[in-house]
Amino acid sequence: MAQTYFFYAISDGEKREYTHEDQIPGYGIQSIPSPKMISYRQVFVNGVLQPRTLYHIREGALTLTSEDVPEKGVPIIVQSVRIYR
């Protein structure tokens, strides 16, 4: 059995950190769970899967560590999966 969590945001073209305050309304319950409870995670910026070296996750927050920030209006998606054993 598994549970999937999603977080959707839109880049403002300036900041690197996104929290629950930045989530797009209308996509249901969204969260960025603690890395301790997640089996694996994927981060997409403008639909492109990001390598782990370009972001940092902590409970409730995504920090982009790339040299450049995404352009204004670019979608950011965090998909987190917890597999129960």
Q: Provide the 8-state DSSP code for 46.
A: T
Instruction: Give me the amino acid identity at 3.
Output: Q
Q: Residue 58 sits in which domain range?
A: 2-83
Location of structure tokens 């209006």: 73
Digitized pLDDT (tens) for each residue of the chain, 85 residues in all: 999 999 999 999 999 999 999 999 998 889 999 999 999 999 999 999 999 999 999 999 999 999 999 999 999 999 999 999 8
The whole-angstrom separation of Cα 12 and Cα 74 is: 8
Q: How far is CA 69 from CA 17, 18, 28, 36, 65, in A?
A: 10, 12, 26, 27, 8
pTM confidence score: 0.93
User: What is the model's pLDDT at position 85?
Assistant: 85
User: What is the model's pLDDT at position 51?
Assistant: 98
Q: State how many domains the chain has.
A: 1
User: What is the model's pLDDT at position 82?
Assistant: 97
- Which residues, in sequence order, are CB contacts of 28 under 8 Å at separation 6+? 6
